[in-house]
Amino acid sequence: MKELKVLSIVVIFTLVLYWGVEPFAHSQMHKHVEFNGFAYNGKSDIEQLDEKIKKINEEITELKNSGGKDIKTKIADKEKELNELKAKLDDTKKFWAEINKVPKGGDAAAGKAAIAACVACHGIKSQGMKAPMDPNAAAAAYGVNPPDLSNAGALYDEKFLIAFLKSPTHAAHVKKLAMPGGLAGDDKNAANIVAYLKSIAPKEITPKEAFVTACGRCHANRYGKWTQIGDVPKTKSNIKTGQDIDALKFKEKVADYQGKLANYMGKLPPDLSIIIRARSEDFLKTFVEDPQSQLPGTAMPRVGLTKEGYEKVISYLEETGDPSKPKREATGPWVLGFFVIFSLLAYGWYKSQWKGLK
């Protein structure tokens, strides 16, 4: 029985370390970001601005108490920054207050007529509307290829889409965006367009389709053989030259697009092949919900995925970046079962060998 007690203590301490101490350590090493459940109502935007205003006020107080050189100039600069943040906060509160009042459920028929304002840049393949430009020409014009809208109604939050149609920079939570605001007109018209997008959205979307729509115009996935302009084509080498001419031409197109994208974003967005292994679940969901919450100043826009849309994207990232996960999880119970049975047999053997001995 003494051995069983020792084993129990070891097991308990191991579980406490695994489920208690390690997560706690991670929470202390990394900043905590509040997760809002993929609810797009301006809450995180306002909280971040409040935090910045608080920090600037503290810096102004420190400057006033420091008595250093050029103190008046430094205080004046900080106060100017403070006033700009306060004005931005008021603007943000007003914007989201208006969005939160817009009722859900517009007129899809009216939205079909109004969608003309969007197809000048966006394609809707499912409705036979081809994108007006190829990816490279679009990147040259806008910095990035505008997304096809066939799946938008299934992947993105309805309130977010309405907000995006009214003011892309407010909704995406970035300083600049190629898409201009106000194209949808008033709130009612924006709601109608969103209703139309929801009416044409497919009931089922594959994980890859979700990734391509939400992430694939900016991010490559090497393990999934995906580039920002499409799948890597299967081609054959030229018999005379021994080179794959078509592959080289495709690589040239990819490089051209990536150069324009890097200029637009400030740098080339990372390949997402192993992001599922490099980042924690908490980081990924809070980052996708609002990139500014984890990386203030990042050029990546908020995309407005719903919980279901996010899970589809993560499923694809797991499929390409961690393909052995299903097999590993299926094998786990068998391994644990083996150790349990082996432990019972070992204990039985131990008891039989020491039977009758002190």
Residues found in the chain: 358
Instruction: Give the residue extent of every domain in the chain.
Output: 102-323
Residue 318 near residue 201 (C-beta atoms within 8 A): no
Estimate the share of the chain in helix, then strand, then coil, as percent rounded to the nearest 5: 65, 5, 35
In whole angstroms, how large is the CA radius of gyration of the chain?
Answer: 27
Alpha-helix runs per DSSP H in the chain: 2-16, 22-29, 43-66, 71-101, 108-114, 116-119, 135-142, 152-155, 158-166, 168-172, 187-200, 207-214, 245-265, 275-278, 281-289, 291-294, 307-321, 325-353
- Token code pair at residue 232: 């890597």
- Token code pair at residue 336: 């644990």
In angstroms, the CA 199 to CA 207 distance is 20
Residue 109 identity (one-letter amino acid) = A
Query: What DSSP designation does 145 have?
Result: P
Q: Which pLDDT score, from 0 to 100, does residue 116 have? A: 85
pTM of this structure: 0.83
Per-residue pLDDT of the chain (358 residues; tens, 9 = 90+): 676 777 788 888 787 777 776 666 666 666 788 899 999 999 999 999 999 999 999 999 998 888 767 788 889 999 999 999 999 999 999 999 999 998 888 899 999 999 988 888 999 999 999 988 999 999 999 999 999 999 999 999 999 999 999 999 999 999 888 888 877 778 889 999 999 999 999 999 999 999 999 999 999 999 999 999 999 988 766 555 556 788 889 999 999 999 999 999 999 999 999 999 989 888 999 999 999 999 999 999 999 999 999 999 999 999 999 888 888 888 888 888 888 898 888 888 878 877 776 5
Query: What DSSP designation does 280 have?
Result: -
Which of 269, 275, 281 is CA-nearest to residue 322? 275
